[in-house]
Amino acid sequence: MSTISIIVPILNEEKYIEKCLESIIENDYSKDKLEVFLVDGGSQDKTVDIIKKYQEEYPFFKLLNNPNRTAPYAMNIGIEASKGEYIVRLDAHASYPKNYFLKLIEWHQKLDAQNVGAVVITKVKNLTKKSGSIKEVLSHKFGVGNSEFRIGVKEVKEVDTVPFGCYKREVFEEYGLYDERLTRNQDIELNKRIINGGGKIYLVPDIECTYFAREKFTELAKNNYNNGFWNILTAYYTKTLNSLSLRHFIPLLFVLSLVLPLITSIVIPKFIYVTLFSLGSYLLLVIITSFKLKSSANSFFYLVSSFLVLHLSYGIGSLMGIFSVISRYIKGDR
């Protein structure tokens, strides 16, 4: 049986960390063949206290300090401390089935891949009409585009990225570690680097993990604003668009289709109709999709609101990312 090093970047995860740790404990993989690095970025809540209690009974949980706080630093700290033949990146916001690690290794050996990942089933810890609507939108193609690990696949498929992936150790020797400049998108950038270097990444349908989504619109907006913002900074730092995919820029194009004609209409009034057409077309699609998704676990109003919050916050984040890049160039920060 192969040895596995599991790395979990953490920061203020008291609401979710126990479920994550329990799913690792309950896993079928032989515990003497795995090590788990919980790399903490300076949590101010009860996260560390919870982990220390688990360490008393389960010594394979190892707590490491991440003074730089962000996920790529955490991953690199864990990789450098690890000894496993395979390295698995997990998220504290998720839980994993009992056969998760066994299946990942099994598929690795079948496919001879550089990285293998599972389909993500989006859930919420506290189901309400609002949180149920957010969950639905984050699992739908109109909400997240062609992100196949979110919308699912029926057969093994070569993809551009996977979440919570299982890497061969030599991947990091051949393609390098995580890019520590990237507060977000570090997994996507690494996976694109692997693909551009000739490596293979696969999504497999018979492994599923559960991701617990944000349950408030403010949390959803903040998370996706940062995602959109870091899409632009990722392109800026890597000096290429190849580290991302077209779907990452669709919300930006939507926001620009509203903002640019609106600004132009100050000089040429008829351009206001371009903004109205773009907004009207989008709202029509949102309304139709929301009617189709409506169920007893959500509501039409919250579905519409979820789509709006998700797409607008993401697009505005990307727009602000552009302004940030322009500011950096003006200041000579290149």
List pLDDT tens digits, range 203-243.
998 888 999 888 999 999 999 999 999 999 999 999 888 77
Average of per-residue pLDDT across 29-54: 96
Average of per-residue pLDDT across 293-297: 94
330 has pLDDT over 90: no
Nearest CA to 164 out of 110, 123, 111, 201 is that of 201
Domains observed in the chain: 4-213 (3.90.550.10), 238-331 (no CATH)
Predicted pLDDT at 24: 95
At 183 the three-state DSSP class reads coil
* Rg (alpha carbons) of the chain, rounded to whole number: 21
**pLDDT tens-digit map of 8-26:** 999 999 999 999 999 999 9
Give per-residue burial for 108-118: e unless 16+ CB within 10 Å, then b.
beebebbbbbb
**Which amino acid is residue 274, in one-letter code?**
V
Average of per-residue pLDDT across 169-184: 95
Q: Are 51 and 65 in contact (CB under 8 A)?
A: no
**Distant-in-sequence, close-in-space partners of 162: CB < 8 Å, separation ≥ 6:** 115, 116, 117, 118, 149, 191, 201, 202, 203
Nearest CA to 26 out of 104, 107, 88, 96 is that of 96
258 has pLDDT over 90: yes
Distance between CA atoms of 95 and 92, rounded to whole angstroms? 8
pLDDT band at 181 (very low <50, low <70, confident <90, very high): very high
Q: Are 38 and 8 in contact (CB under 8 A)?
A: yes
148 has pLDDT over 90: no
Nearest CA to 186 out of 91, 307, 318, 292 is that of 91
334 has pLDDT over 70: no
Higher pLDDT, 244 or 266: 266
> How many helices (DSSP H) and strands (DSSP E) are in the chain?
13, 9
152 has pLDDT over 80: no
Percent of the chain with pLDDT over 90: 78
150 has pLDDT over 80: no
Average of per-residue pLDDT across 26-53: 95
Predicted pLDDT at 19: 92
Q: What are the Cα distances from residue 327, in Å, to 62, 92, 221?
A: 41, 34, 24
Give 326: exposed, middle or buried? Use CB within 10 Å, 0-12, 13-18, 19+.
exposed
pLDDT band at 151 (very low <50, low <70, confident <90, very high): confident
Phi, psi of 239 (to 5 degrees): 60, 30
333 has pLDDT over 80: no
- What is the average pLDDT score of the chain? 93
**pLDDT tens-digit map of 154-175:** 899 998 888 888 999 999 999 9
Q: Are 212 and 127 in contact (CB under 8 A)?
A: no
Predicted pLDDT at 62: 97
249 has pLDDT over 80: yes
- What DSSP state is assigned to residue 247? G
Predicted pLDDT at 311: 98
Higher pLDDT, 209 or 306: 306
Predicted pLDDT at 147: 76
